[in-house]
Structures are given as structure tokens and as C-alpha cells.
């Protein structure tokens, strides 16, 4: 997707406001946050969120004491981030900086700084070729640092069209890597195996991988209404999704996966 597309105020609003206000949005943030806490070093380690948008994933880390840099090419998304930043407690606000830049120039944009963790969630699917961005993610990680990538699961591409009873599309999806996503824009999926090899080639051996959405995804595409105001139900949903994200066969059926790698401690900083 072009930067112009993300700079559309309507698209930025639908993503930053509507999507994350849903039960599904809450589950995404919660599940990924729990995964990250299993691997992150103690605060105040520096974290870079590439394509971090309005900061939904990284601002909770700032509140937990981490020094956060959000890098995004979209001025509209970063405006949303600034609005949300104003609602954080003052100590957390001081731990966040925002940079407008393309992820494929991340190393230059951060002046060569190296980070204890580099996040890239929900970005690769909008790129025709993931390799240049992945190279930057791995480059920006410090020796021993994390690289955290969330992207579409090519092994489960038929799930969404099947649940929406688009049978011809579901049949085609078994052998396709692309689709029109829930925001109405083209997307592309990867596999855990291919992405693992890609980061390994940059000195970042895979450490773990997880699912992200399963049941909440199926319910939504099946037409079920989930009330984000029902806090008990949302909390219970998130607990089940977190457990499913760690277990086979559930994680394999998730339409999105989360891969975590750790850069070799003896890997050069560049």
C-alpha cells in the first residue's frame, strides 16, 4: 500500500480508532503485549516500532517503562499517535518519540541507533516484497535484541472467505498469497517457515512463534456481534485467545501469526 493511502484521514481513522476499539482490536493488542513481555529485557530498554501507526502496541510499553520510538511513513497515522500520546501519563509521554519515515530507511531515520527490541506488526502484508524491510528490522536490533514481526498466515488464507461463505474465493485462496483485507485494501500473506529463514539470514535466529486471532476472528466473520463494552466477556475472550496463540493446532489455524527472533549476541551492530 502506498503512503498516500495511509495518509487518507478516513483510512487512518478506521484503523486507529475503529479497528482498535473493537474486541478484535483489544485481543490483538493484549495477546501481542503478553508475548512481548515473555521476551523483552527489563525496562527502560529502547524499543523501535516500525510502522507503529498510532502507537497502540508500543504506548503500553512506554507506560511500562520502556523508551519507545514509533516510526511510520504516514503523517495522518502519526497525528493519531500524537492525539493518543496526550492521553498518556506525563512520565510515559516523555519516553516516546515519533519519527515520520519509511521503514525501508529505518536505520538512517534513527541515525544508526540500535534497539533492545524492534517491532513490526501488520506491515509486511502491505508490501510486495518483505525482504528489504526485514533487513532493516534486523539491522536496527542490537546484539541480543528482539525482532518481533506480526503478519498474515498464508497457510490459513482460506479461513476468512470460507467463513464469509465466499466459496469460490476460499477455493482460490488455498493457492494464493493475496486478498482484499478487512480495510478494503490489498494484502499479502507470508509463512512462518519463509519468514524464519529470512530473519535467520540476517543473523536473527527465530526464538518462538504464536497465533494472534482465532476464535474472535471466526466469530466476526461468521456475523457474531461482540460487545467491546462487556468487560468481563472481553477479558475472558482475551484469555482464551492468548492460550490458543501458544498451542498447536490452534496457532496454526490463526489467520495472523507473530514471529519473534533474537539477534545473535556476537552479531555486529551494523
Q: Express each pLDDT in 244-265 by its tens digit.
A: 999 999 999 999 999 999 999 8
How many domains are contained in the chain?
Answer: 1
Distances (CA, A) of 188 to 51, 152, 180, 225: 16, 7, 9, 27
Cα distance between the two ends of the chain: 28
The segments of the chain whose pLDDT lies below 70 read: 1-19, 180-184, 268-270
Residue 269 domain-assigned (yes or no)? no
> The CATH number of the domain where 58 resides is what?
3.40.50.150
Count the Cβ atoms, other than its own, within 10 Å of residue 143.
14
Residue 60 domain-assigned (yes or no)? yes
Residue among 93, 91, 85, 13 at smallest CA distance from 56: 85
Residue 167 domain-assigned (yes or no)? no
Q: Read off the C-alpha cell for 209.
A: 512463534
Residue 178 domain-assigned (yes or no)? no
Provide the residue range defining the domain that includes 221: 3-155+189-262
pTM to 2 decimal places: 0.90
Q: Read off the C-alpha cell for 135.
A: 533487513
- What pLDDT was estimated at residue 171? 95
- What pLDDT was estimated at residue 8? 47
Residue 194 domain-assigned (yes or no)? yes
Count the Cβ atoms, other than its own, within 10 Å of residue 255.
21
Residue 172 domain-assigned (yes or no)? no
Residue 174 domain-assigned (yes or no)? no
Pairwise CA distance, residues 227 & 209, whole Å: 29
Count the Cβ atoms, other than its own, within 10 Å of residue 116.
20
Residue 162 domain-assigned (yes or no)? no
- What pLDDT was estimated at residue 219? 85
Amino acid at each position: 500500500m502506498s503512503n498516500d493511502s495511509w495518509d487518507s484521514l478516513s483510512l487512518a481513522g478506521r484503523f486507529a480508532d475503529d479497528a482498535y476499539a473493537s474486541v478484535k482490536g483489544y485481543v490483538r493488542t493484549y495477546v501481542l503485549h503478553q508475548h512481548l513481555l515473555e521476551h523483552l529485557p527489563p525496562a527502560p530498554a529502547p524499543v523501535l516500532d516500525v510502522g507503529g501507526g498510532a502507537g497502540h502496541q508500543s504506548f503500553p510499553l512506554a507506560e511500562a517503562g520502556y523508551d519507545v520510538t514509533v516510526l511510520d511513513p504516514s503523517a495522518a497515522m502519526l497525528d493519531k499517535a500524537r492525539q493518543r500520546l496526550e492521553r498518556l501519563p506525563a512520565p510515559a509521554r516523555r519516553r516516546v518519540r515519533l519519527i515520520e519515515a519509511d521503514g525501508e530507511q529505518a536505520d538512517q531515520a534513527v541515525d544508526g541507533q540500535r534497539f533492545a527490541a524492534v517491532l513490526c506488526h501488520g506491515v509486511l502484508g502491505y508490501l510486495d516484497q518483505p525482504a528489504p524491510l526485514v533487513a532493516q528490522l534486523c539491522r536496527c536490533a542490537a546484539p541480543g535484541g528482539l525482532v518481533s514481526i506480526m503478519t498474515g498466515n498464508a497457510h490459513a488464507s482460506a479461513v476468512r472467505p470460507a467463513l464469509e461463505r465466499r466459496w469460490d474465493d476460499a477455493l482460490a485462496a488455498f493457492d494464493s498469497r493475496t486478498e482484499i483485507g478487512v480495510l478494503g485494501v490489498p494484502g499479502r500473506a507470508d509463512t512462518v517457515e519463509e519468514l524464519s529463514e529470512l530473519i535467520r539470514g540476517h543473523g536473527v535466529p527465530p526464538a518462538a512463534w504464536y497465533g494472534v486471532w482465532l476464535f474472535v476472528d471466526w466469530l466476526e466473520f461468521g456475523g457474531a456481534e461482540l460487545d467491546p463494552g462487556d468487560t468481563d466477556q472481553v477479558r475472558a475472550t482475551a484469555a482464551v485467545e492468548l492460550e490458543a496463540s501458544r498451542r498447536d493446532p490452534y496457532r496454526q489455524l490463526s489467520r495472523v501469526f507473530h514471529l519473534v527472533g533474537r539477534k545473535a549476541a556476537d552479531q555486529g551492530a551494523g
